[in-house]
Chains A and B, each alone.
Chain A
Amino acid sequence: MNAFARIVWFVVKKDLTVEVRSLEILSTTMFFAVTVVLMFSFGLVVDGRPLNDVAAAILWVAIAFSGTLALGRTFERERHNDTLRALLLAPADRPALYVGKLLGILLLLGLVELVLVPLIGLLFNAPVIEQAVPLLLLVGAGTLGFAAVGTLFAAMLVRARSRDVLLPIMLYPMTVPVMIAGVRGTAALFQPTPDAAVAQFWLSLLAAFDVVFVILALWTFEPVMTD
């Protein structure tokens, strides 16, 4: 294992160890995601029947909201006792630290989505099992794009004032393509006759977004995290 991968692994292992011992972020984020789904359902289900495409929209809004919460909490933990400074002082590649944090967030959000997606399927009668593979790809690519931008912004904001409100302010306009692609792609899959071609288009857009923004984040992480 080369040095880069080892640092990534150390960061992920550190985050996992802290999280497994308390389960604080995972449990609160998961419950928050479920609450978001319910709140939107009360708003958007009319006469016992959901509006068009509403299941896909609720799924992605819940991912975005709970993702913001998880990002904020994860870096709040790093700010406490100034452990992020310790991480940055370590003789390690800055991009490796970024990838480590990103993987930690992805793991966390993946677990949340493992509950969220079946819940959507259950509540809205969506074909989550029949469309499992394309849905997995869409949600995975969307979450990666969201988390790639989010991890960088949350890390940058650690030292800023009013970071709680600044994170969504910065993150949501930036992840509009993820939201549009995710919602439209998922909606295409949830139709009575799933439209694989449309879902494919949105998936490729998400993949392009992921590639561009992961590279840009790796590239930007070093200068923005240097004092």
Chain B
Amino acid sequence: MALAAGMFAVAPWMIDAAPYEATMGLVYKIYFFHMPSAWMFLTAAIVAGVASFRLLFLKRPRADHWVTAAAELAVVFGAFTLVTGPLWARKAWGVWWVWDARLTSSLMLFMIFVAYLLLRKYGGPGSDKLGAGLALFGMANVPFIYVSVNYWRTFHPPTSVVPTLPVAMGIPLWYCVTAFTLLFVILLRLRARLEHQRARVEALYLAEDEA
């Protein structure tokens, strides 16, 4: 826990420091945040899917806490990705949004996790398994969305070319990826811990009532 707290204290500093090492124009700096958060978004989705599998098929009730934690992080990092993306695209492509395969599948994945949170909040008792089903289906759905949008888009190719990444940007970028991964792992662990403890408190209350 002390280590986690220490890492948590360092992570914001790393994220803060990293972009200033770049010598690129101001607009491109957002990419240092955009790409790592997009990766963490996908990682969170995969963690949620795997934890859902464990909950549903291996009957591990504690896996639910990981699904919740990962789903919340997927929404946080997904929102961050979807906000920083258009900001960059406006300058690079001249439009806020294109119906590109990646953009659309990210948006749909984001929607699925928002649906998950809504379900958990308003679904009432038993929504943990429902949510796990949703997360599992969501993960299986990503390749389909990608293929369909990819093919659909080939009829209407984007008007500009996606700039390729220069090598000079590599070091700060990887620095940021590390920082984001650290942040993601810490947040995931803290959130899952909170859920574990919440479940324990609930079990204690129940025991108290019965006594």
Is there an interface contact between A161 and B122, defined as CB atoms closer than 8 Å?
yes
Is there an interface contact between B147 and A223, defined as CB atoms closer than 8 Å?
no
Is there an interface contact between A173 and B115, defined as CB atoms closer than 8 Å?
yes
Is there an interface contact between B136 and A220, defined as CB atoms closer than 8 Å?
yes
* 0/1 string, A120-132, CB within 8 A of B gives 1: 0000000000000
How many residue pairs between the two chains, A and B, have CB atoms under 8 Å in the bound complex?
Answer: 93
- Tell me the nearest residue of chain B to A208, going by C-beta: B144
B35 within 8 A of A: no
A133 within 8 A of B: no
Is there an interface contact between B144 and A173, defined as CB atoms closer than 8 Å?
no
* 0/1 string, A175-188, CB within 8 A of B gives 1: 01100110010000
Question: Chain B interface residue count: which class?
Answer: 20 to 34
How many residues on the A side are at the interface (Cβ–Cβ under 8 A)? 31
Query: Which residues of chain B are near A159, meaning CB under 8 Å?
Result: 124-126
Query: Which residues of B are at the interface with A, using a C-beta cutoff of 8 A?
Result: 56-57, 59, 104, 108, 111-112, 115, 118-119, 122-127, 129-130, 132-134, 136-138, 140-141, 144-145, 147-149, 151-152
Query: Which residues of A are at the interface with B, using a C-beta cutoff of 8 A?
Result: 149, 152-153, 156-157, 159-163, 166, 169-170, 173-174, 176-177, 180-181, 184, 201, 205, 208-209, 212-213, 216, 220, 223-224, 227
What would 28 A/B residue contacts be, using CB atoms closer than 8 Å? Answer: A152-B137, A159-B125, A160-B127, A163-B123, A166-B115, A166-B118, A166-B119, A169-B118, A169-B119, A170-B112, A170-B115, A173-B111, A173-B115, A174-B112, A176-B104, A177-B145, A180-B149, A181-B148, A201-B151, A205-B148, A208-B144, A212-B144, A213-B137, A213-B140, A216-B136, A220-B56, A223-B129, A224-B130
